[in-house]
């Protein structure tokens, strides 16, 4: 860590209990977790709904931290002799340190958001950029106010770039993440229905996603799929810099037949147009043919976004056949259960992602079944969106659906799926497996997908037996 005590004095003013510290020395490793503190660390005690790390200041001091930052709202005693700053908000202070570190390193920063495909696109970008050197990327769910600065602080001068995922559940959240990261390239994968129960409309979701441009470099660029005019309108209100639009011929973003007025944007054209051959699993980009590293048309679009990021960074893209994609459990995962092939998409679900997964499911030879679960945070649109998704499943010709319900939509879902040869609505993963198993025969394909709360990964062990 190259940040010095002098750097933080410029941010926060006088250092209390300064003692005989050499202010030109580095502040040490940044720690927010009292369980992993090492001697010489700089401690940032964060405050959550159910915890306050200030309670561990004494322990941290005993372990040898050289300094800390403390909230002005903390009512306890700071250990005597501990050099520290008092600030209004330790989380904001943590983000300030991360931004200072990001500026000192001056590495390219790519930020990724969107309703669907954030993590997949992030991992594809990381893999494609790997020829540049070590790419520091968000891990797991570290896409929030704590995770983004944590990722930035993990970078060093030996690294080549950052790829940061940015999530949100309301207005203002991505603005804060953009502020701490100051990205050079922003990617918005799409604007779907996820969190519509919180934000109220796709228009509001587009505005929230467009916050990624709040602190985007004036010379930077936003990369988006061509044809989402709700997103175009939101960006027009927020961003005056470059926008690069990408398109796959024959690929529609409008999975749910949502209203997407475009009369005001008829003069806009895509900057990159690609073609895909799903049968042979390749994409044509800028005259070159690339093997698709992940199955599904939706993943082809994610790959196209990643290829465009690499092009914008000036990376020569030639051979990408050996990409190493590190997808988290429950995303884009094919599981061979012996007699059955399972598409494990248990991590989470939104209307668009479920439809994309269903389309991938039916591309497999054999019969097709799905264990689906309630999609949460859809608000007043919930029943309508569940019906649209299930009608799409019927249209695609599924042989059977077990639906795990944790909401009021059970009766509507029963009526919607009753025309399938096999159908059931249950309340938990075990009952879902018990309903599904008698229907199955060797060679069948099964999709498992639902909101995180339902823990549908618990269905898998029954299929693996």
Binding-site residues for ATP, please?
A: 114-120
The DSSP call for residue 328 is P
Residues in binding site: 114-120
Copy the structure tokens of residue 230.
Answer: 């709700």
Type and span of the H or E element at 345: strand 341-345
At 348, is the secondary structure helix, strand, or coil? coil
Q: To 5 degrees, how large is the angle CA 292–CA 229–CA 188? A: 45
User: Which of 407, 408, 360, 370 is closest to 390 using CA atoms?
Assistant: 370
Nearest 5°: the CA angle 191, 139, 151 is 100
Q: What would the DSSP string read from start to end of 363-375?
A: TSSS-EEEEEEPP
CB 233 within 8 A of CB 254: no
Burial of 133 (0-12, 13-18, 19+ CB in 10 A): exposed
Tokens of 355: 């439809």
Give residue 25's Cα distance to chain centre: 36
d(CA 276, CA 282): 6
- Terminal alpha carbon distance of the chain: 49
Alpha-carbon distance of 381 to 21, in angstroms, equals 59
Angle at 155 between CA 318 and CA 116, to 5 degrees: 60
154 touches 145 (CB < 8 A): no
| Element spanning 454, H or E | none
Quick one: which of 87, 34, 85 has its CA closest to 61?
34
Following DSSP, what letter does each residue of 77-126 receive, concatenated? PPPTT--EEEES-HHHHHHHHHHHHHHHHT--EEEEE-SS-HHHHHHHHH
In three-state secondary structure terms, 219 is coil
β 400-404/368-373 pair status: parallel
Give me the residue label for tokens 């690929």: 251
Rounded CA Rg of the chain: 24
For residue 129 the two structure tokens come to 């950029």
Residues constituting the chain: 465
């Amino acid at each position: 860590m190259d940040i010095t005590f002098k750097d933080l004095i410029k941010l926060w003013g006088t250092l209390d209990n300064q003692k005989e510290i050499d202010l030109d020395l580095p502040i040490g490793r940044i720690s927010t977790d009292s369980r992993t503190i090492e001697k010489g660390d700089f401690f940032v005690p964060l405050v959550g709904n159910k915890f306050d790390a200030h309670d561990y200041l004494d322990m941290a001091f005993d372990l040898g931290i050289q300094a800390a930052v403390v909230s002005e709202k903390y009512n306890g005693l700071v250990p005597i002799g501990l050099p520290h700053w008092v600030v209004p908000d330790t989380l904001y202070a943590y983000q300030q340190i991360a931004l200072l570190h990001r500026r000192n390193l001056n590495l390219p920063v790519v930020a990724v958001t969107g309703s669907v495909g954030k993590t997949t696109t992030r991992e594809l970008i990381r893999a494609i950029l790997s020829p540049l050197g070590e790419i520091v990327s968000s891990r797991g769910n570290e896409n929030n106010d704590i995770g983004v600065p944590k990722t930035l602080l993990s970078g060093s001068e030996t690294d080549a770039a950052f790829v940061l995922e940015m999530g949100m559940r309301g207005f203002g959240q991505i603005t804060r993440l953009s502020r701490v990261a100051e990205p050079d390239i922003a990617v918005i994968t799409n604007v779907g229905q996820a969190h519509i129960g919180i934000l109220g409309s796709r228009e509001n979701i587009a505005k929230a996603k467009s916050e990624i441009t709040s602190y985007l470099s004036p010379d930077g660029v936003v990369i988006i799929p061509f044809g989402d005019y709700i997103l175009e309108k939101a960006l027009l209100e927020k961003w005056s810099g470059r926008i690069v639009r990408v398109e796959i011929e024959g690929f529609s973003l409008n999975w749910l037949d949502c209203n997407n007025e475009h009369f005001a944007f008829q003069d806009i054209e895509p900057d990159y147009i690609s073609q895909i051959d799903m049968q042979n699993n390749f994409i044509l980009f800028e005259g070159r043919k690339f093997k698709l590293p992940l199955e599904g048309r939706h993943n082809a679009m994610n790959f196209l976004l990643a290829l465009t990021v690499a092009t914008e960074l000036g990376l020569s893209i030639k051979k990408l056949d050996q990409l190493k994609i590190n997808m988290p459990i429950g995303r884009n995962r094919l599981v061979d259960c012996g007699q059955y092939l399972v598409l494990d998409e248990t991590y989470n679900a939104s209307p668009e992602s479920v439809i994309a997964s269903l389309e991938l499911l039916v591309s497999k030879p054999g019969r097709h079944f799905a264990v689906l679960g309630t999609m949460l945070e859809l608000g007043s649109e919930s029943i309508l969106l569940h019906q649209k998704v299930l009608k799409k499943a019927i249209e695609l010709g599924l042989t059977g659906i077990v639906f795990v319900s944790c909401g009021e939509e059970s009766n509507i879902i029963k009526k919607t799926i009753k025309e399938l040869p096999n159908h059931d609505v249950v309340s938990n993963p075990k009952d879902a497996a018990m309903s599904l198993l008698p229907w199955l025969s060797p060679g069948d394909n099964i999709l498992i997908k639902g909101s995180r709360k339902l823990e549908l990964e618990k269905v898998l062990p029954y299929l693996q037996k």
